[in-house]
A and B are shown apart, each in its own frame.
Chain A
């Protein structure tokens, strides 16, 4: 992916330390090309969320710090900016666990997403209609309090709220968390749609490797704070290691735990 002239977002070997003593990311590098959907995959505690938080500068609140490396957005170093400055530059994060404003209605939630814009009420209203066109479910619930909508609707509200900022890039953290498989498919479908029609780039952190690789076009696999594998989504999905470790499929088909003995592949990246 490094062959493209200038990636939209480039992360160069960042190291993140929490609480001055705990090293979480040990040199993570990744690129998101203009108009790409890039997935960060990996198990719990691999550092996916930390990577996203480092990009959107949310680590301060968690007592974390980027101690090495740099993050560039359109060639400009951004890791000294505040999260709200980043939003103005077009990078919006949709946090894990949605975090809708519970006491505001769905529509008010969406409108707060347009807070940083100053291109007039008409443009905002037009975008609101556009969001409703992508998420028709939200239109039917527009006047209910976000706290009383279902998990799927809250995730849609969160993505829609991010869209209202007119971003060029959305960081999506665990969009599938706690949602029914159909809803997950629906949301990923909309993500793909937005990517193709609105030219929004996505960087998404996901546990659900299967779905993520189906919709993304490039993927990085994180383990223990390091990128252990990268490649196009198709290559990753066909990779034997990925199949074994993240998709639960081995060469001999699905693994049965009834077999007394089964041999695990060794993770090649472990020295």
Chain B
């Protein structure tokens, strides 16, 4: 009833092609942004910022990047964490070697360096596809793990191998309180998501999707596969690099190469599989699922046990948490093999037709 576009007439192409063509979507999105920027900073606690919101947003940004590559361009990658690491270490080196450089500029340069590395490791995609490509991108993961652990220059010859940059300071604003960190990350993620959303509906986005759906047909109508695949690797790694820099500087504060190991790559891949391939919204939903569900289970399980008079100790909680988490992933994938974003899309479609079934 509420979600219906009756009476919204588009009289120009501009109106027809806008990002959110349905008024209710626009209002909802605007409301969400106002809520995130204006209300959340006053109601959330430091714990919620540090443990929930900041990691969720940063990983969602990395997932958006991976989704561009896997969901939109159809190239499976297991090297996202490596590209995040490139972004993080590039940002660190820019930070210590060029004093006074604005952090936003650092983010962009780090993103570009990650994009270059990503394109380099994307070259095999021109020849191999599918699972074989996943194995090839695994090389990036192992190579980067090795480089940042062994080449001392990247960690500024720190004997422990870990790096610990000071708090971000730009234009007199020191981003150190959790609220400030949250707002900074939120702003970056909002801008980049908007950019990603726009990119995916432009000519280059259509070229990616054509390459994903049928690469031969795409080539036959004049899309250069080299161009489409390498730009997808580049843009994807750019997002991953920026997310990596934020992950290191804002979320972790101090990190060692292990922070960007293959586990993170897998987690990001799971995020977009559960959230929905080829959907920006799906990246956020999937990352919310992976980041929030363990925390939620951790809180809920002891309470649930208490309800039935069972004492649940922490060791048991962590075991049950893993089991329930795995079961939930399987459940959601069986319920909707195309991810949470598709569930949402079907729900919206049903709402539009309601009360008629079809």
A interface residues with partner B (beta carbon < 8 Å): 17, 19-23
Contact = CB atoms under 8 A, between A and B. Distances in A.
Contacts, number: 14
Interface size class of B (residues with CB under 8 A): under 10
14 contacts: A17-B357, A17-B358, A19-B346, A20-B346, A20-B349, A20-B350, A20-B358, A21-B346, A21-B349, A21-B350, A21-B353, A21-B358, A22-B358, A23-B358
A21 B358 CA distance: 5
The binding surface of chain B is classed by DSSP as helix
A77 B357 CA distance: 25
Contacts of A21: 346, 349-350, 353, 358
Contacts of A20: 346, 349-350, 358
Given A17-B357, A21-B349, A21-B358, 11 more contacts: A17-B358, A19-B346, A20-B346, A20-B349, A20-B350, A20-B358, A21-B346, A21-B350, A21-B353, A22-B358, A23-B358
Nearest to A17: B358
Interface string B323-355: 000000000000000000000001001100100
A19 B350 CA distance: 10
A23 B353 CA distance: 12
Nearest to B346: A20
A20 B336 CA distance: 12
Contacts of B353: 21
B3 to A, nearest CB: 14
A20 B357 CA distance: 8
A22 B357 CA distance: 9
Contacts of B346: 19-21
A260 to B, nearest CB: 35
A50 to B, nearest CB: 14
Contacts of A19: 346
A37 to B, nearest CB: 34
A131 B353 CA distance: 51
Nearest to A15: B358
Nearest to B349: A21
B263 to A, nearest CB: 33
A77 to B, nearest CB: 23
A22 B358 CA distance: 6
A22 B356 CA distance: 12
Contacts of A23: 358
B346, B349, B350, B358: which has the most chain A beta carbons within 10 Å?
Answer: B358
A21 B353 CA distance: 8
A20 B353 CA distance: 11
Nearest to B352: A21
Contacts of B357: 17
Which 5 pairs from chain A and chain B are nearest by CB? A23-B358, A21-B349, A21-B358, A17-B358, A20-B346
Contacts of A17: 357-358
A11 B285 CA distance: 42
Contacts of B350: 20-21
A130 B349 CA distance: 52
B350 to A, nearest CB: 7
B248 to A, nearest CB: 42
A206 B321 CA distance: 55
A169 to B, nearest CB: 31
Nearest to B338: A63
